[in-house]
Amino acid sequence: MLIFSFVLAVPLNTYAYSNQKHDWFFKRSKDQRPATTDQKFIDLLEKYNGYYIGDTSEKNLYLTFDNGYENGYTEKVLDVLKAKKVPAAFFVTGHYLKDQSDLVKRMVNEGHIVGNHSWHHPDLTAVSDERLKEELQKVKDKYEELTGRKDMMYLRPPRGVFSERTLALSEKEGYTNVFWSLAYMDWVTNQQKGADHAYRSIMKQVHPGSILLLHSVSKDNAEALGRVIDDLRKQGYSFKSLDHLVSNDRIPNPIAD
């Protein structure tokens, strides 16, 4: 009876979902073939309505940026996107919302999506259910305070760390988890290698349905972005918003194809 009482005392959510920690990874695209990832990751994303790639039969691209702090280049990125009429999604932290409110407002006013990157950027698998919800809600509340909008629905887990539990809980909070199928090490600000390096890093990985992860702290990205957009359009690619991706409601399985 004592054992039975102890089991009842343990919160039910402890056993509801696996909290095995996963670090997002993908196998890079070559020759414009779709990037791939572990089948168990694909299965989890399908189960909890997350994304890492779009429809690989169509030459659509989804441009996303992670914004933990400002390094002086987001304004230039926004200038390029405005000039080229390209939509993007910016995943912001609490620090960014407090420190760069004008840039966040500009993102919204110019038609971009602002997504949730958590308030403190923690490993979400290492925090309680209550803390996870708080991390997301604080970002949402501050975003609504700044913009008057109640449309925050996309989440990028900090550092790409996730579990079945974090996917399930964030989905219950109304979020679509968005990972990526194209990225390179662009966030190290003291190891920038020039706009040509950024251009080559993106162009050699691109594929139909790419969800691109870039960081606007990168000087290289800001300088290369216009050329990237122009040359990808010349190759027949179109830039779409995450809303377009989700409205199609498809996650292809390139491993099984």
**Active-site residue list:** 66, 215
DSSP state of 191: G
Would you say 60 and 203 are in contact if contact means Cβ atoms under 8 Å apart? no
Strands 161-162 and 22-23: antiparallel
Distance (Å, whole) CA 149 – CA 28: 36
Distance (Å, whole) CA 81 – CA 65: 12
Token pair 């509340």 is found at 141
Distance (Å, whole) CA 228 – CA 214: 12
Would you say 51 and 26 are in contact if contact means Cβ atoms under 8 Å apart? no
Mutual orientation of helices 101-109 and 129-147 as an angle, nearest 10°? 70
- Look at residue 175 and give its three-state secondary structure: coil
Distance (Å, whole) CA 187 – CA 95: 17
Distance (Å, whole) CA 75 – CA 110: 12
